[in-house]
A and B are shown apart, each in its own frame.
Chain A
Amino acid sequence: MKNIWTIAKREYDNYFNGPLAFVVMLAILLPMGIYFSLILFYTSQQAFFGGGGAPDIQPINGLFVFLMVFLAPALTMRLLSDEARMGTLELLLTSPVRDSELVIGKWLGAMLFVLTLLGITLVYPIVLNNFVDPGIDWLVVLSSYIGLILICGTMLALGVGISAIFTNQFAAFFVTLGLLFFLYFMIGLPAGLLPQSGEVFNYLSIQNPFDQMNAGTMTLGGIVYYLSLISLGLFIGTTAIEIRRWR
């Protein structure tokens, strides 16, 4: 356990060594801020004309997930691929650290970074709470943030798993991006096109459980779904490292 934490801590610090952390922060917080102000502006106008509902944070949290489809691959691409390319994997693999601890530590490091981002976005519900009367439903906010943590964890775990397979970080980036794009948009796509039974595809998309949680409905199925995908990603990563040892 200590090893996982040691690795996660270094990975977290390492994000801030280069420009990546700031690029990702900007790429996610700026669109969210703009979107949030637009929503506030729009709903306050509607309220002025005497219509419309109260604004809520659902749409901007949805935007966070949408942007993460593109940013999660950037956060995970070099986590393990670069260690293999630079040879530093030899140091880690000859340290008293289990392969699984290494992979989980890398994932946790990325996770801590995303949790930091999510922490910053908490200003939106807080601002909103002061805007609407009688305040917003914090249970819905809680459910939405649990959903965010789970879906982001899933994307990062798949990214870490793929990063362990490649020695080239750009290969890892594009494969992860392709996979997340597929899981996010493509699986759900036939649902709109097929007249019947298309809903099954919608159900399988990684968007689906999040959308429910974002709306305030926690489902056990959704939680299990994300946790299994997280385990799968970490398992793929660990196996890829083990295969690297055996060659």
Chain B
Amino acid sequence: MIKVSGLTKDYGSRRAINNLNFDCQQGEIVGFLGPNGAGKTTTMRILTGYMPPSDGEAIVAGYDVVEESLEVRKRVGYLPETVPLYHDMIVFDYLKYMGELRHVPDVDERVEEALDMVGLINRSNGYVGNLSKGMKQRVGLAQALLHRPEVLILDEPTIGLDPGQVVEVRELIREIGRERTVLLSTHLLNEAQNLCDRVLIINKGKIVAEDTTENLQARLLGAERVVVRVRGEADELASSIKSVKGVRKVETLDDGGVEFEFASGKDLRPEVARQVIKDGYDLLELRPLGMSLEEIFLELTNNEGKK
């Protein structure tokens, strides 16, 4: 649905994105993650036909963003980062105007439908300018959904929403992402983790990692770390665990627990459990310590910065 190859954009002499390659399938929600100035907005603006790339090409919904820009724009729903709206318009009229520009059939009903989806049906007769920030955000989202686009591109869709709304909007995105393609940018790693099928991490205009969140964690660690806790005194626990073949980096924690590592792929937890019980301990806990996406993110973006 989205296919990007060699995409590059220069603003004057500053290179905002450099030779990006990725694709997104239908029915997939892809998260675009990266620190400020990484090039997320720039990439999205190219994909939505707002501006042409300096080099490379992008195919969205089967059309080239430069050569067949109008065809792309017909099929894409876009929520820009700044959520631009006409503040002096009535909410309903605003959405109707955007719908008419997109030749939406039965536009009145579709506006109602979109307003209903974002939970703003009771504000449809008010001025856009009088809405709260989060409500404006949702009007922007309604605008992006209005024409039932094949591809949805959302630049930080949940920013400025209250926690309840965040949950609802994520639910909505998940719903849409079942059949259509969604590319969303975010700084919230837990959002990427629980919403996206796949994550692209971009830093300084380059993609530094691309995978499912689970795989990213595993790949980056190269090993899995586990903490073990037993009842009572456990002076000998560490040596007991060390005796299992394949276990590495055994450390005793202050609270008496023991952490150890094994190469990812060969799970040593059963062996360790057996050994611990055989040595007469009451096993209370055997818990894998996943690296959070935060840590992965910092690791990737910092390493890249040092190079």
Contact = CB atoms under 8 A, between A and B. Distances in A.
Interface in A189-247: 245-247
Interface in B64-88: 70-71, 73-74, 76, 78, 80, 82, 84-88
B97 A87 contact: no
B100 A6 contact: yes
Contact of A247 (B48, B51, B101): B51
Interface residues of B, number: 28
Interface stretch (A38-46, A94-102, A117-125): A94-102
B84 A96 contact: no
A95 B98 contact: yes
Contacts of A87: 80, 82, 84
A14 B101 contact: no
B22 interface: no
A137 interface: no
A3 B97 CA distance: 10
A93 B50 contact: yes
A115 B100 CA distance: 24
A91 interface: yes
A94 B74 contact: no
Contacts of B34: none
Contacts of B84: 86-91
B70 A96 contact: yes
Contacts of B98: 91, 95
A49 to B, nearest CB: 55
A18 B127 CA distance: 13
A94 B88 contact: no
Contact of A90 (B71, B80, B89): B80
Contacts of A96: 70-71, 73-74, 101-103
B97 A94 contact: no
Contacts of B88: 14, 17-18
A246 B52 contact: yes
B102 A245 contact: no
Nearest to A102: B101
Interface of A: 2-3, 6-7, 10, 14, 17-18, 86-98, 245-247
Interface of B: 11, 45, 48-52, 70-71, 73-74, 76, 78, 80, 82, 84-89, 97-98, 100-103, 143
Interchain residue pairs A-B with the least CB separation, the first 7 = A87-B84, A88-B84, A96-B74, A96-B73, A94-B48, A6-B100, A95-B101
18 contacts: A2-B103, A3-B101, A6-B97, A7-B101, A10-B97, A14-B88, A14-B89, A87-B80, A87-B84, A90-B84, A91-B98, A94-B49, A95-B73, A95-B101, A96-B103, A98-B70, A245-B50, A247-B11
Given A87-B80, A87-B84, A96-B101, 20 more contacts: A7-B101, A10-B97, A17-B88, A17-B89, A86-B86, A89-B84, A90-B45, A90-B84, A91-B98, A93-B50, A94-B49, A94-B50, A94-B73, A95-B101, A96-B70, A96-B71, A96-B102, A96-B103, A245-B52, A247-B11
